[in-house]
Amino acid sequence: MSLPPGAQLGRYEIRSRLGAGGMGEVYLAWDTKLDRKIALKILPVEVAENKDRLRRFEQEAKAASALNHPNIITIYEIEQIDSVNLIVTELIEGQTLRARMLSAALTLPVMLDVAIQTASALSAAHGSNIVHRDIKPENIMVRQDGIVKVLDFGLAKLTDVSSGETVSPEAPTRPVVYTDPNVVMGTALYMSPEQARGRELDARTDIFSLGVVLYEMVTGRLPFEGSKTEVLALVLSDKEAQPLARYSREASPELERIVSKALRKDREQRYQTTKDLLLDLQNLKQQLEFESRLERSVPPEAQKVPTQLAATSSVEPPSTSSISGATTSPLKRRRWSLAIPLVILILVGSIFIYRWESASSSLHEPSCVPAPASSPGA
């Protein structure tokens, strides 16, 4: 069923169609009672007749409405109007993460921010033992102000075992409903190995899916690529994803470690709680911010010093005379130090020779004393 603009469903007036997914169509609508824009997710009539899909549709509303968190879409109500089943949610004005990645390359700080906010939302859900089971770029919305919202808890499953998460007092949650075990649901490209095998799931399956999303944000590609069958085969095999550094210069060793740990095939080796993953992501972001501030605080002159030193390291450093201010090399100083004593020696020798020759000449010169005069009468 497709609703044209202007169609009325109870107090909601359809404005435009926003999109469609496996669980129904989404419309931008106007709440005529509260005078605000809202989003309506409507389950098609033919699907509503399927009791299982109708139950999952209702489950989405219950699961999401149980989670009060700034990074999880807010559910206003669930209704059935004129045999139309619909969920009323807040309107998120922004882009899906998929559209955001396609529109422009993401910087590393933006990638970490998206991952941190998504992990924060999942940590709150896991605190009430709610597993999303379908984390992918299409279910992550990025608002115009940078706030991330996790959507579509239609595949959420309430686990019967505590995940060990703690619930933030600012984001209270409460348990919701169960779904049938041993049923494979989700998107193959982002499934954990245990999800692909149809096993019982816990919070660690969402950690694997978020690891796939983070890998894709950094490298622009999936860790396991191919057809649905090929991807599932790779996920279930022992083959690990290629290192981030092979595809991106943004990948630091710490980021590599975080993503690699989130993508461990054996969930016992994976992050055990989303809180642990969240803390590592936050620490990495703080480290990068500190390094950026430190780099900006260094004066440009100081930044040039290493380059200048490197440029002169292969030659003798100049030496400045404190007397004349002239610059001389050590080789020239050595020559002067040898020449000065030699000049002094030559001068002293010249004086000595001059005096010796003068003395010698005075000894051999004829006498000039006049002969005595003859006496008269001699």
| Residues with catalytic roles | 134
Separation between Cα atoms, residue 33 and residue 232, nearest integer Å: 48
Rounded distance between C-alpha atoms, residue 271 and residue 163, angstroms: 12
Of 193, 155, 152, residue with least CA distance to 52: 155
Residue 375 tokens read as 């006496």
Q: What six digits make up the tokens of 353?
A: 């020779």
Burial letters 180-214, b for 16+ CB under 10 A, else e: eeeeebbbbbbbbbbbbeeeebbbbbbbbbbbbbb
* Cα separation, 269 vs 34, whole angstroms: 49
Q: Which two tokens stand for residue 376?
A: 């008269």
Q: Please name which of 108, 86, 116 lies closest in space to residue 274, comparing C-alpha atoms.
A: 116
